């Protein structure tokens, strides 16, 4: 049996056969739709079932000339950068608290992931009720405390809607990332902190010179994942605001959905694969920077 298992493990064909079902599934669910979207972007498709006519780069020119497209690009950048910054800082802060010794630590660690586990539709309904300007708990508390004089329209005001959606999205994702950061914090050698404390180093210096360098690779991966996931989020924004008011929360995913299923301009929606190309370029640049930093450290 040992001889057979060693032959199997050394044979690359066997490894390929093991991952083949997953590769087929990815090809069917991801690769084919992506390739078909590229094909549609070079044609004129408005309704399903009609013959496809090749139009070249017309759809791309039309999309790039639309003000709505560039406005959604700007909102996507604001949305993504804000989410990355807040999720990084928030998850690091929560992880540092969870890494301390106190009573009830295990209970908090077990249940902090709850906001991320719950379905998006449930969270959207609950938060829309909490933030309701007439019957919501949030405005009631703010008015009772004297912080505001009149109810704030968190999800229907052009001033508050985008910041509110950003904070709610961060509230959901920070627990997930904080668990990852907590796992990284627990790999930091305690001996280094003890030695630095004996030498008279403050907590801040120990954090910046010992903890951060150890967990920085994890933080960089979290930043990349947060950027990609935030830029592609559709359900949270759609369920909270449907892109409103006055398109103030219309990011690129909302723009693409509106093009395809409200205006029935499927080809122009497919032409928004420019978003994918932009994210791909950012990932390549980000990874090259990371690899250069790793090479310099070595």
Asked if 109 contacts 98 with a C-beta cutoff of 8 angstroms, the reply is yes
Q: Is residue 50 part of a domain?
A: no
In a domain, 51, yes or no: no
| Residue 240 falls inside a structural domain | yes
* pLDDT (tens digit per residue) in 162-197: 999 999 999 999 999 999 999 899 888 888 888 888
- On the question of pLDDT at 226 being above 70, the answer is yes
| Spatial CA neighbour of 144 closest among 167, 136, 175 | 136
Above 90 in pLDDT, residue 35?
no
Is residue 223, in this structure, part of any structural domain at all? yes
Least confident of 44-53, 62-71, 151-160, 223-232: 44-53
CATH value at residue 144? 1.10.3720.10
Q: pLDDT by residue (tens digit) across 83-135? A: 999 999 999 999 998 888 778 777 787 788 888 888 999 999 999 999 998 88
Q: Which pLDDT value is given to residue 286?
A: 81
Using pLDDT thresholds of 50, 70 and 90, give the confidence band for residue 240.
Answer: very high
Residues 163 and 237 in one domain: yes
Residue 99 domain boundaries: 57-297
Residues 27, 110, single domain; the answer is: no
Whether residue 94 sits in one domain with residue 3 = no
At residue 262, the pLDDT reads 84
Provide the 10 A C-beta neighbour count for residue 195: 13
The number of domains in the chain is 2
Residue 284 has pLDDT above 60, yes or no: yes
> Does 85 share its domain with 18?
no
The residue whose two tokens read 């309701």 is 132
In this structure, the answer to whether residues 164 and 247 fall within a common structural domain is yes
Is residue 23 domain-shared with residue 77, that is, in the same domain? no
Percent of the chain with pLDDT over 90: 30
């Amino acid at each position: 049996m040992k001889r057979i298992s060693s032959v199997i493990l050394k044979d690359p064909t066997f490894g390929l056969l093991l991952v083949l079902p997953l590769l087929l599934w990815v090809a069917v669910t991801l690769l084919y739709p992506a390739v078909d979207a590229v094909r549609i972007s070079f044609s004129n498709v408005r309704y399903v079932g009609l013959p496809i006519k090749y139009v070249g780069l017309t759809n791309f020119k039309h999309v790039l000339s639309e003000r709505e497209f560039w406005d959604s690009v700007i909102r996507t950048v604001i949305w993504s950068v804000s989410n990355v910054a807040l999720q990084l800082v928030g998850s690091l802060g929560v992880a540092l608290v969870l890494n301390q010794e106190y009573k009830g630590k295990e209970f908090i660690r077990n249940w902090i992931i709850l906001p991320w586990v719950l379905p998006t539709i449930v969270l959207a309904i609950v938060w829309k009720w909490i933030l309701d300007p007439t019957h919501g708990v949030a405005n009631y508390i703010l008015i009772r405390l004297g912080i505001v004089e009149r109810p704030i329209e968190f999800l229907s005001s052009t001033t508050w809607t985008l910041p509110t959606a950003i904070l709610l999205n961060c509230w959901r994702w920070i627990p997930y990332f904080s668990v990852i950061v907590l796992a990284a914090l627990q790999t930091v050698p305690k001996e280094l902190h003890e030695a630095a404390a004996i030498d008279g180093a403050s907590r801040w210096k120990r954090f910046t010179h010992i903890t951060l360098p150890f967990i920085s690779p994890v933080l960089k991966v979290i930043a990349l994942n947060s950027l990609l996931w935030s830029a592609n989020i559709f359900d949270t924004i759609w369920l909270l605001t449907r892109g409103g008011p006055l398109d103030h929360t219309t990011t690129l995913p909302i723009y693409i959905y509106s093009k395809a299923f409200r205006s029935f301009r499927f080809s122009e929606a497919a032409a928004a694969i420019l978003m994918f190309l932009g994210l791909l370029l950012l990932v390549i640049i980000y990874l090259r920077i990371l690899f250069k930093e790793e090479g310099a450290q070595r």
